[in-house]
Amino acid sequence: MPKSTTNNGLDRVVAKNSSLVVFVNEAKEGKTNFSMDRLLTIFNREGAVKAKTTNDLSTRVVEVKAALAFTWNSEMRATAPIKQRMVSLHFKTSDQDSVTREAFHRLYERKPEELASVLFLLMQHRAEIERQIVKSLLKIRSSLLQAGVDTERIAGCYAVCLAGFQTLISVAGIDAQVAKERFKKVLDQTTQMAKSRNSYASDETEDADVFLEAILGEIQEKTDPTAYSDSGFKLYKDRGTNKQQVAIYIEAAVPYLREHRRLELTRDIRSLKSQLQQHPLFIKRDYPIQVLQSKSTNVKAYIFRYELEQEGEK
């Protein structure tokens, strides 16, 4: 996407391509006019409200009628709420072989009139599709949630794609058994992809995610994770909630992880602390508690929920 592409131009392209896919190539935050934050409202089909060129209070709404498909070499950084609204497909060079390359070339070399016939096919079966697709979507979303997908939003996004694929093969004149087998294969692969999506995952807290993951892993491996330790973190039972929580003394934990785990962490401790306060597991900061074995006095610790234990109790 060139820097010269304007927001008004994008709004018009998305508005006029009703029920079609609009491709946005290499959109970069700060380097193009597209902001990922717009997906928060676009997801709900909320159009852009613009003032008319009149002297009164008249407005107009540029509706969002298209689906957006982003293509990147490196995916744009985004917050957790934005990532939950996206379906990510990774096409890795390591996954390619002679079969996948041949399939790609066969698709790429199809003539425009062949591709246009798909729309003609769908319009022939429009009434049937409109009658069945919502039921299929809800059924698939329910099965994804039962399979362990994190949230309804993530399950719903992947269910839209699966319901569309199921609809296409159901009207394409494919043998019923073949269609069933193909859908099951795609369903199994997509379910695994959806299950791998973490509803908490955010590029804005990437260092905090790595930091906490390492500490929770260390706690799991300790014989007595409640013991005082110069590593800078320990488990303790909160008296108010009667639940296990993690106390972390950042100033000791960071050098410990760098030295003993060879963990690459930001050198900006203030930035790390800021990220930790945005993390979904964060409870409070500057909590006075003894953590260190070599120091019997309290330190100001950051407190987090102990999610690994909660998952084990389910």
Question: What is the pLDDT confidence band of residue 91, given thresholds at 50, 70 and 90?
Answer: confident
Question: What is the pLDDT confidence band of residue 62, given thresholds at 50, 70 and 90?
Answer: confident
Which has more confidence, 184 or 82?
A: 184
CA distances from 221 to 89, 208, 216, 279 (A): 34, 20, 9, 23
Chain-wide mean pLDDT for the chain?
84
Which has more confidence, 84 or 138?
A: 138
Which has more confidence, 233 or 24?
A: 233
Question: What is the pLDDT confidence band of residue 114, given thresholds at 50, 70 and 90?
Answer: confident
**Nearest-angstrom CA–CA distance, 265 and 269:** 9
Question: What is the pLDDT confidence band of residue 3, given thresholds at 50, 70 and 90?
Answer: low
pLDDT higher than 70, residue 203: no
What percentage of the chain reaches a pLDDT higher than 70?
90
Residue with the two structure tokens 């717009």: 38
**Nearest-angstrom CA–CA distance, 4 and 34:** 11
Q: What is the pTM of this model?
A: 0.62
pLDDT higher than 90, residue 213: no
**Hey, which residues does 85 pair with through a beta bridge?**
none
pLDDT of 207 reads 78
User: Which tens digits make up the pLDDT trace of 175-202?
Assistant: 989 989 999 999 998 999 888 887 766 6
pLDDT higher than 70, residue 205: no
Question: What is the pLDDT confidence band of residue 18, given thresholds at 50, 70 and 90?
Answer: confident
Nearest by Cα to 274 from 254, 302, 244: 302
